[in-house]
């Protein structure tokens, strides 16, 4: 690690805001040496509770996050917020506007708000978010809130970085079929019906309750196949598995951690974020979920899965970059694409040809390693 990075790390651990900001920039930019920096951060992490807040645009996420941060501060805890907004797929530009709603805590440097955008790399944002969370954790933040529009696989991957996920459902967001449809509900540990002073809030709460109850009876969360491949997993569980409908505990289902009594049933909390109503209740539900995670052993399991995913993502990105070089050596992707266009060859043949030497290399590695590994295992 370079001397400059060493100093940056030292300053970050000493609590300098500028150093934290700069570290997150390095992570976002993937500037040279950021990997060494992040791997050094890991030794100082593990203290913070990470909370994800997600919901459709206009559901009131930023306002709610603002109030959450304010309440944590009143309790004497420091807060980090990572607010994620989409970027334009055309220019790469973005307007990150979440900060505007976070007015309660301005002037308080112990609330560190950082806006991030996707920067066009698929999957790259979830790695960057996870790393930024590590940076804030190492900095010494007690609570870290990730705020994101929960649309699409990419965003859901981001929110999985969190220990506890709150999903905002505004009143009048469609009938129960609509809520069944949205994949976003499957990641909820806590449902938040925000803007609860609006007409239709009662109905939304009722519909969510019905959904959760349905899952509890195993009605559709079980073997009826609506959940695709996961459904068979859930079907093997007893009917008391309340979280089936939310699917939030799908991870634990694989690991057989939960039994019927201990499994998590996503509570529904009504809030009016603009007036600060229901915030204390929401925080206590978050705390309850945190306790549940610790006691059920799910936290360890979730962490393991998360790190496994991080390792895979990193490897995939690295291998992609290596292959990109290989592609350049082979004359660039455009020449190859043109060959396909003119009918000389096809994409499968090209892929096979390009990968053949790589596969041979791997084969070579395997035969070299075999004697050692077999003696170990």
Q: At what angle do helices 34-41 and 17-29 cross, to 10 degrees?
A: 130
Return the residues of window 111-150 that contact other proteins according to CB under 8 A. Answer: 112-115, 117, 119-121, 124
Q: Comparing C-alpha atoms, which of 89, 85, 100 is closest to residue 155?
A: 85
Residue from 39, 88, 153, 370 in contact with other proteins (CB under 8 A):
88
**DSSP assigned state of 161:** T
- Cβ distance to other proteins smaller for residue 155 or 244: 155
Binding of residue 291 to other proteins (CB under 8 A): no
Binding of residue 370 to other proteins (CB under 8 A): no
* 147: enclosing H helix or E strand: strand 143-149
Binding of residue 318 to other proteins (CB under 8 A): yes
CB of 121: closest distance to other proteins in angstroms? 6
Residue from 311, 322, 335, 358 in contact with other proteins (CB under 8 A):
322
Binding of residue 89 to other proteins (CB under 8 A): no
Binding of residue 96 to other proteins (CB under 8 A): yes
Q: How far is CA 179 from the centre of its chain?
A: 21
- Cβ distance to other proteins smaller for residue 18 or 312: 18
Q: Where does this chain touch other proteins (CB under 8 A) — which range of 60-68, 93-101, 166-174, 175-183?
A: 93-101
Binding of residue 203 to other proteins (CB under 8 A): no
Rounded Cα distance, 326 and 355, in Å: 9
CB contact set of 142 (below 8 Å; sequence gap of 6+): 47, 48, 49, 72, 77, 78, 79
- Cβ distance to other proteins smaller for residue 107 or 371: 107
Rounded Cα distance, 332 and 335, in Å: 6
Q: What DSSP string describes 53-86?
A: EEESTTSSHHHHHHHHHHHHHHTT--EEEEEEE-
Structure tokens given for 212? 């959760």
- Cβ distance to other proteins smaller for residue 130 or 211: 130
- Enumerate binding residues for other proteins (CB under 8 A): 17-18, 21-22, 24-25, 28-32, 34-35, 87-88, 91-97, 99-100, 103, 106-107, 109, 112-115, 117, 119-121, 124, 317-318, 321-322, 325
């Amino acid at each position: 690690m370079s001397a400059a990075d060493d100093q940056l790390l030292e300053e970050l651990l000493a609590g300098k805001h500028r150093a934290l900001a700069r570290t997150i920039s390095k992570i976002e930019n993937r500037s040279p040496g950021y990997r060494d920096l992040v791997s050094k951060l890991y030794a100082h992490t593990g203290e913070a509770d990470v909370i994800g807040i997600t919901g459709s645009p206009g559901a009131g996420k930023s306002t709610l996050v603002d109030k959450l941060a304010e309440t944590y501060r009143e309790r004497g805890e420091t807060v980090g917020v990572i607010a994620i907004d989409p970027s334009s797929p055309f220019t790469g530009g973005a307007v990150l506007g979440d900060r505007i709603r976070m007015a309660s805590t301005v002037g308080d440097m112990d609330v560190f708000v950082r806006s991030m955008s996707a920067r066009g790399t698929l999957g790259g944002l979830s790695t960057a978010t996870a790393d930024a969370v590590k940076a804030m954790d190492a900095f010494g933040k007690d609570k870290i809130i990730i705020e994101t529009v929960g649309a699409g696989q990419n965003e859901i991957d981001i929110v999985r970085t969190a220990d506890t996920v709150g999903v905002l459902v505004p009143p009048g967001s469609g009938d129960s079929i609509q809520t069944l449809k949205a994949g976003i509900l499957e990641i909820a540990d806590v449902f938040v019906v925000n803007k609860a002073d609006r007409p239709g809030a009662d109905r939304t709460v009722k519909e969510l309750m019905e959904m959760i109850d349905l899952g509890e009876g195993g009605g559709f969360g079980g073997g009826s196949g609506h959940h695709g491949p996961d459904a068979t997993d859930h079907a093997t569980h007893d009917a008391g598995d309340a979280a089936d409908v939310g699917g939030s505990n799908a991870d634990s289902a694989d690991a057989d951690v939960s039994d019927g009594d201990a499994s998590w049933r996503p509570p529904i909390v009504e809030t009016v974020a603009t007036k600060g109503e229901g915030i204390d209740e929401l925080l206590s539900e978050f705390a309850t979920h945190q306790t549940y995670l610790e006691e059920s052993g799910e936290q360890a399991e979730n962490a393991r899965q998360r790190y496994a995913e991080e390792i895979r993502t990193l490897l995939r990105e690295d291998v992609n970059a290596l292959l990109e070089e290989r592609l350049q050596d082979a004359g660039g992707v455009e020449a190859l694409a043109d060959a396909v266009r003119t009918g000389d060859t096809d994409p499968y043949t090209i892929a096979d040809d390009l990968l053949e030497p790589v596969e041979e290399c791997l084969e070579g590695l395997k035969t070299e390693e075999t004697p050692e590994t077999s003696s170990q295992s």
